[in-house]
């Protein structure tokens, strides 16, 4: 990517004064990657504390781990489209399976579809999606190169936070997507995504800038701000840029 184009992306990110030296690879100072990290790696496919899921009246988390194991992309997509495992199935327009390159090295995981995503059936198509695209381009990735999914496949009414039981029921779909994709790196965007994937209540601020590991395959997972948050709080875009550079470094080291 040439420098002028890269500067356009920084402008889109609100980082007009950022100066890039050399190539994309050289733009990040080489340094030791601090591999794991915060607590222990989550168990295969684990996402929410079982107790929280149980409180919501759903099956314990462990009981539904690997529920979708063995499904190929086509089968998985069909299962998601027909899913009635939680009450969000009665309020959605359609499920939002995820989109992108099935050979992607990067898996981006957001929270849940919003109104526009519910309408179009594709994640991150609204304003937050535009910013996400700019963030990806800033580290040399086209939207078409990555795979983008959410913790939830259905929109929570009024864009409320996902309930623990909803996330517990839905995460096996994401876990099977990860098993099929075998990404080199996962980027959790936003607190809800990070906390559900890492089974923690630790704040996003404390989860950033570390290499976490997800699931049996111990996929490296990096956490950054949600683009919708960055639209509301542009002063944190610079920290998001640090996270993206960090994630790119981690990916290059895998």
Interface positions with ligand URA (CB under 6 A): 110-114, 117, 123-124, 128, 150, 228
Taking the least distance from each CB to ligand URA, the nearer of 41 and 136 is 136
Quote the least distance from Cβ 214 to ligand URA, whole Å.
17
Using only C-alpha atoms, what is the Rg of the chain?
Answer: 18
Quote the least distance from Cβ 1 to ligand URA, whole Å.
25
**39, exposed or middle or buried, with CB in 10 Å at 0-12, 13-18, 19+?**
exposed
Taking the least distance from each CB to ligand URA, the nearer of 110 and 183 is 110
Neighbours of 226 (CB within 10 A): 22
Quote the least distance from Cβ 128 to ligand URA, whole Å.
5
Using the Cα atoms of residue 205, residue 206, residue 211 and residue 213 in order, give the sign of their dihedral: negative
Taking the least distance from each CB to ligand URA, the nearer of 45 and 114 is 114
Edge-first strand order for the sheet with 212-214 is 99-100, 147-150, 106-110, 185-189, 219-224, 212-214
Quote the least distance from Cβ 146 to ligand URA, whole Å.
13
Taking the least distance from each CB to ligand URA, the nearer of 225 and 249 is 225
């Amino acid at each position: 990517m040439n420098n002028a184009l890269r500067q356009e992306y920084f402008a889109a990110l609100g980082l007009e004064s950022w100066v890039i030296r050399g190539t994309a690879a050289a733009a990040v100072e080489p340094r030791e990657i601090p591999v794991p990290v915060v607590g222990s790696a989550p168990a295969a496919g684990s996402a929410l504390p079982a107790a929280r899921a149980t409180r919501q009246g759903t099956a314990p988390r462990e009981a539904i781990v690997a529920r979708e194991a063995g499904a190929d992309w086509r089968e998985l997509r069909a299962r998601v489209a027909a899913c009635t495992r939680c009450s969000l199935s009665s309020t959605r327009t359609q499920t939002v399976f995820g989109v992108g390159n099935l050979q992607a090295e990067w898996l981006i995981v957001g929270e849940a579809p919003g109104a526009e995503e519910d309408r179009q059936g594709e994640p991150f198509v609204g304003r937050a999606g535009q910013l996400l695209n700019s963030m990806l381009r800033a580290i040399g990735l086209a939207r078409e190169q990555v795979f983008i999914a959410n913790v939830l496949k259905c929109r929570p009414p009024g864009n409320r936070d996902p309930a623990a039981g909803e996330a517990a029921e839905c995460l096996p779909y994401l876990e099977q997507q990860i098993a099929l994709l075998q990404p080199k790196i996962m980027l959790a965007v936003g607190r809800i995504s990070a906390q559900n994937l890492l089974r923690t209540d630790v704040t996003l601020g404390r989860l950033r800038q570390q290499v976490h590991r997800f699931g049996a395959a111990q996929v490296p997972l990096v956490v950054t701000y949600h683009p919708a948050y960055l639209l509301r709080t542009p002063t944190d875009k610079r920290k998001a840029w640090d996270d993206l550079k960090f994630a790119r470094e981690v990916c290059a080291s895998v």
